[in-house]
Every structure is written in structure tokens, then in C-alpha cells.
């Protein structure tokens, strides 16, 4: 079979980059058939046994945390400390949904009459076709696979062709934990492989993370087959800093909202609205922090900003910055490609961009309206709460939003008015597995994580039970 063209984004030559076969439509069909075979055994297990398998997988992954973190950094170019944090969230997902497996399909009893009642039960959907993104490869995989497995489904997962390694490696973890053969499958490739998975008639649900444009194609495929679809798509999220905010924590929040994973995060709060009275001190403090960020070798523990995923994506990010300047924005810091002399020798084949802060921005600029997916923060000012909420909501996206204030009443009131699926108050970009994650508007459909995710991967059945005689009313009775 042909192989995917892979490279480590941060290193000139890495002998450890794996060779990954490209999955054909026939390979996808074989994976789906394997999933249907595995589904029979997995769905028939007692829920607590499914939970035990997932808990064992979590413990095995914990024992291999450093190995997986290194693999993730080689694939993505993100700093190693971030990959370690990502692995913890993956372990959390397996533990959390493994613990919920016993109650994932719990039903309820509804009394109706003295002689009748209804039982409402939940059942697995079947085979889940899941497609992940390149910025959080294993986390994106397990945010889908863990709740799906807890509900008794089988999974066929397609990672991004840019970051294919950890999805395969975790399959070995599942096998060692006792997951039956065929319950978790991986296919590799780009859009053609993804389309084959979406179109397969034996796939019972689709779950996708990625761009709005691709999400629309996934939803169309689901609509044609009339199957459920979960979409976690892009965003252009606001971060609001009110005049009473704690300045230090607000700047920390802006850094968290913009510069993790080289800015390649769908929930990033790239539109930073700062109250006019706080703007100068906020800007000066922010720039002093960004200036000290180390950009470089992703494998070094003190690196803050790693390698951009591809040359093509770097050019896209730099293009946004160039056009922003043409529209009147000012580059306050960064936004440059690091030259060879600024990098360790082994990293000189990678693509490294310095984190960028833009000033003199306005709401109508392209960089303020469109998702950049890079380390580009746009500074904007506001004068009133009413004004900033209206401007924050003026976007077709609704994935996330954040605000910093000491006023608890204001925090609750503004959070209720912001049109986004995820709101952070006095923090940003923390996504615990216990809480649902997903967007409003064009940012997605459905939810990942939390108990809500269990409803995304199961279906409801109502069973009416009559203990007495059938009342036929005025219709002729068989006794007459």
C-alpha cells in the first residue's frame, strides 16, 4: 500500500517518524466489517466489564505517558510539556467514561396506569465513524472513542494525515487492556478516506472535529443516510477584560487563550477586548510576557512555542498578518518566521513563528473576523458592557468565550448573554472531561465530554408494558 508523507514539524530529520499506510476504500470497508464483528461481543458484555477494560487502558496509558507525549510532539510540533498535559487529559477521558460505563445506558420506569407502565432504555448506536484533527490527535480520538466505548459501541477512527501515530499506538493499549478485536479500528488517509468512512452504509453515527467546510460535508453525508452527527468545528472566540479585572490573571488568561499549541486551538480567544481604562497597562504587561516566550525545539522542557504544523499553514498565518497590516493593524510584537541562526541546528528544517500581538485592530478586519489558527492575538478596546457583549456576539461562530472581572454578578450576567457553548470566567482554555464541550452557531452540533456525551453515543427506546386487558373502546371485541 502507499504511505502517507510524514515529517516531524520541528526537526530537520527525524529517523523515528513512522511510515503509515494510506487506507483505501476497501481498507475502510474492512475496518467497518471488523467493527461490526467486534460490536456483537462488546455490546453484550456487562457494563461494569466494559468499564474495567477502559480503566485498565487508562492505567496502561499512564504507565506510557512519556512515550506517548514524545510521539505526540514528534507528530504535532507542540512543546513536550503540552503533550504531557494532553496525555493526562486522555487518561482522564478513559477513567471518567470507564467509571460511567455502569450507568451510561441506565433507563427509567414511568408509571402510567394501575396496570401499565413504560420502560425507557438506552442502547448503543452501533459502529461510530470518527474523524479527528491534527492539533490534539490523541485527545481528539479519545474524546470520541471513550464515551462511544462506554456505551457499548465499536469505533472506526481516522486521524488527521498530518498526525497519525498516537491513534494507532493507543490501539495497542486497548488490546493489552482486553478490548475485544474489532472494537477499536484505525484507518489512515486524507479526504478520500474520510469520505469513504462517512459514506459507508454500515456506519451508524459520524463524529468529526475540524473545519466548518469539512464539517458541512460530514453533515451532508450523515443527512443522506439519516444518521446522527456530532460536529466540533472552528471558532473566533472573544476574551473580555473588564475594568475591574485582576490585571495579572487577565494577561495570563490572554496568553492561555492564544499561544498554546502555537495558537492551533479551535477555542482560542483571539479577539481580546480590553476596557479602555485598562488598555495601556494590559498591553504593556502582555508584551512583556510575550517577549520572554521561548520559541524553539519542541522537545526541550523550557520551550513555550513549538513548530507550526506545516509550511503551508505557516504561510496562511503569515498571510493573515500581512493583510492585517494592510488594513491598518499594527504588529506590536512577533509575527515573524525565525531564521536558521535563531534555532538549534536540528530544528532548522522546521517552521517556527514568533507569537504575534496586533494593535489598532477593528471589528471589520479579516484577522478579527476569520479563524487564523495561529499565534495571532488581536487587541481591541471597549467602553461599556452593553457594547462589548454585542460586539463579542457579532460572529457566525459560537464555540467559546471568556471574561475577566471581580464582579460575580456581572460574570454571571455576561456569561448568560454570550452566544457560545463554552464560557470561561477568570480563566481560559481549560476543558475538564466532566464538563460538556461544543459550540453554538457554525461552531458545531452536539457535545463531547461530560454526561451529555453519553447521549451522543446512545439511542432511546420506549417500551410500553400492559399488565391488564387491552381496552379497545367502541371497536368490536373478540369476545362478542
* CATH code of the domain containing 298: 3.40.309.10
* Residue 147 forms part of a structural domain: yes
Q: Which of 176, 203, 233 is the last residue of a domain?
A: 233
* Residue 464 forms part of a structural domain: no
Q: How many CA atoms lie within 13 A of 240 on its CB side?
A: 30
3-state secondary structure labels for all residues of 323-386: HHHHCCCEEEECCCECCHHHCCHHHCCCCCECCEEEECCCCCCHHHHCCCCCCEEEEEEECCHH
Indicate whether 416 and 295 sit together in one domain.
Answer: yes
* Residue 353 forms part of a structural domain: yes
Lateral strand order in the sheet of 422-425 = 330-333, 356-359, 376-382, 271-275, 238-241, 400-404, 422-425
Q: Give the global pTM.
A: 0.96
Indicate whether 286 and 160 sit together in one domain.
Answer: no
Q: What does the pLDDT read at residue 11?
A: 72
480 residues of the chain, pLDDT tens digit each: 577 767 778 776 565 666 788 999 999 999 999 999 999 999 999 999 999 999 999 999 999 999 999 999 999 999 999 999 999 999 999 999 999 999 999 999 999 999 999 999 999 999 999 999 999 999 999 999 999 999 999 999 999 999 999 999 999 999 999 999 999 999 999 999 999 999 999 999 999 999 999 999 999 999 999 999 999 999 999 999 999 999 999 999 999 999 999 999 999 999 999 999 999 999 999 999 999 999 999 999 999 999 999 999 999 999 999 999 999 999 999 999 998 788 988 898 889 999 999 999 999 999 999 999 999 999 999 999 999 999 999 999 999 999 999 999 999 999 999 999 999 999 999 999 999 999 999 999 999 999 999 999 999 999 999 999 999 999 998 876
DSSP state of 58: H
Domain that holds residue 340: 238-425
* Residue 435 forms part of a structural domain: no
Measured CA to CA, the distance from residue 58 to residue 76 in angstroms comes to 22
Q: What does the pLDDT read at residue 13?
A: 56
Q: What does the pLDDT read at residue 8?
A: 77
Q: What does the pLDDT read at residue 12?
A: 62
* Residue 433 forms part of a structural domain: no
Indicate whether 30 and 147 sit together in one domain.
Answer: yes
Catalytic residues: 232
Closest to 310 measured CA to CA, from 161, 169, 190: 161
* Residue 449 forms part of a structural domain: no
410 contacts 418 by C-beta, under 8 angstroms: no
* Residue 457 forms part of a structural domain: no
* Residue 445 forms part of a structural domain: no
Q: Kindly report the CA angle at 254 between 249 and 257, in degrees rounded to 5?
A: 125
The total number of structural domains that make up the chain = 2
Indicate whether 229 and 304 sit together in one domain.
Answer: no
Amino acid at each position: 500500500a502507499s504511505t502517507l508523507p510524514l515529517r516531524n514539524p520541528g526537526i530537520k530529520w527525524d529517523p523515528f517518524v513512522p511510515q503509515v499506510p494510506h487506507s483505501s476504500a476497501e481498507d475502510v470497508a474492512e475496518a467497518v466489517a471488523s467493527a461490526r464483528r467486534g460490536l456483537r461481543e462488546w455490546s453484550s458484555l456487562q457494563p461494569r466489564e466494559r468499564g474495567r477494560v477502559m480503566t485498565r487502558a487508562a492505567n496502561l496509558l499512564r504507565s506510557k505517558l512519556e512515550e506517548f507525549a514524545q510521539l505526540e510532539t514528534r507528530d504535532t510540533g507542540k512543546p513536550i510539556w503540552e503533550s504531557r498535559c494532553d496525555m493526562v487529559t486522555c487518561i482522564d477521558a478513559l477513567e471518567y467514561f470507564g467509571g460511567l460505563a455502569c450507568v451510561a445506558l441506565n433507563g427509567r420506569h414511568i408509571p402510567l396506569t394501575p396496570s401499565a407502565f413504560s420502560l425507557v432504555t438506552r442502547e448503543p448506536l452501533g459502529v461510530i465513524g470518527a474523524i479527528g484533527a491534527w492539533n490534539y490527535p490523541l485527545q481528539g480520538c479519545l474524546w470520541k472513542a471513550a464515551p462511544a466505548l462506554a456505551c457499548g459501541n465499536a469505533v472506526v477512527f481516522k486521524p488527521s494525515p498530518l498526525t497519525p501515530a498516537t491513534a494507532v499506538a493507543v490501539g495497542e493499549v486497548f488490546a493489552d487492556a482486553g478490548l475485544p478485536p474489532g472494537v477499536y479500528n484505525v484507518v489512515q488517509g486524507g479526504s478520500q478516506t474520510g469520505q469513504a468512512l462517512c459514506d459507508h452504509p454500515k456506519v451508524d453515527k459520524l463524529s468529526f472535529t475540524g473545519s466548518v467546510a469539512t464539517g458541512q460535508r460530514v453533515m451532508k453525508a450523515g443527512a443522506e443516510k439519516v444518521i446522527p452527527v456530532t460536529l466540533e468545528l472552528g471558532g473566533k472566540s472573544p476574551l473580555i477584560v473588564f475594568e475591574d479585572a485582576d490585571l495579572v490573571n487577565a494577561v495570563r488568561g490572554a496568553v492561555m487563550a492564544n499561544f498554546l499549541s502555537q495558537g492551533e486551538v479551535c477555542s482560542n480567544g483571539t479577539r481580546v477586548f480590553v476596557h479602555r481604562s485598562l488598555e495601556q497597562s494590559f498591553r504593556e504587561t502582555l508584551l512583556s510576557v510575550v517577549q520572554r516566550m521561548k520559541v524553539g525545539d519542541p522537545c526541550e522542557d523550557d520551550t513555550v512555542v513549538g513548530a507550526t504544523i506545516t509550511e503551508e499553514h505557516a504561510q496562511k498565518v503569515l498571510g493573515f498578518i500581512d493583510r492585517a497590516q494592510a488594513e491598518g493593524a499594527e504588529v506590536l510584537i512577533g509575527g515573524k518566521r525565525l531564521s536558521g541562526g535563531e534555532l538549534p541546528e536540528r530544528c532548522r528544517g522546521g517552521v517556527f513563528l514568533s507569537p504575534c500581538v496586533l494593535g489598532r485592530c477593528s471589528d471589520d478586519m479579516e484577522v478579527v473576523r476569520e479563524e487564523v489558527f495561529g499565534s495571532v492575538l488581536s487587541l481591541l478596546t471597549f467602553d461599556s458592557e452593553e457594547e462589548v457583549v454585542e460586539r463579542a456576539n457579532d460572529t457566525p461562530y459560537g464555540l467559546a468565550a471568556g471574561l475577566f472581572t471581580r464582579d460575580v454578578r456581572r460574570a454571571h450576567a455576561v456569561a448568560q448573554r454570550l452566544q457560545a457553548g463554552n464560557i470561561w470566567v477568570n480563566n481560559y482554555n481549560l476543558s475538564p472531561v466532566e464538563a460538556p464541550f461544543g459550540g453554538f452557531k457554525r461552531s458545531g452540533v452536539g457535545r463531547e465530554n461530560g454526561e451529555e456525551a453519553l447521549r451522543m453515543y446512545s439511542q432511546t427506546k420506549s417500551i410500553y408494558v400492559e399488565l391488564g386487558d387491552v381496552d379497545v373502546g367502541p371497536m368490536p371485541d373478540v369476545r362478542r
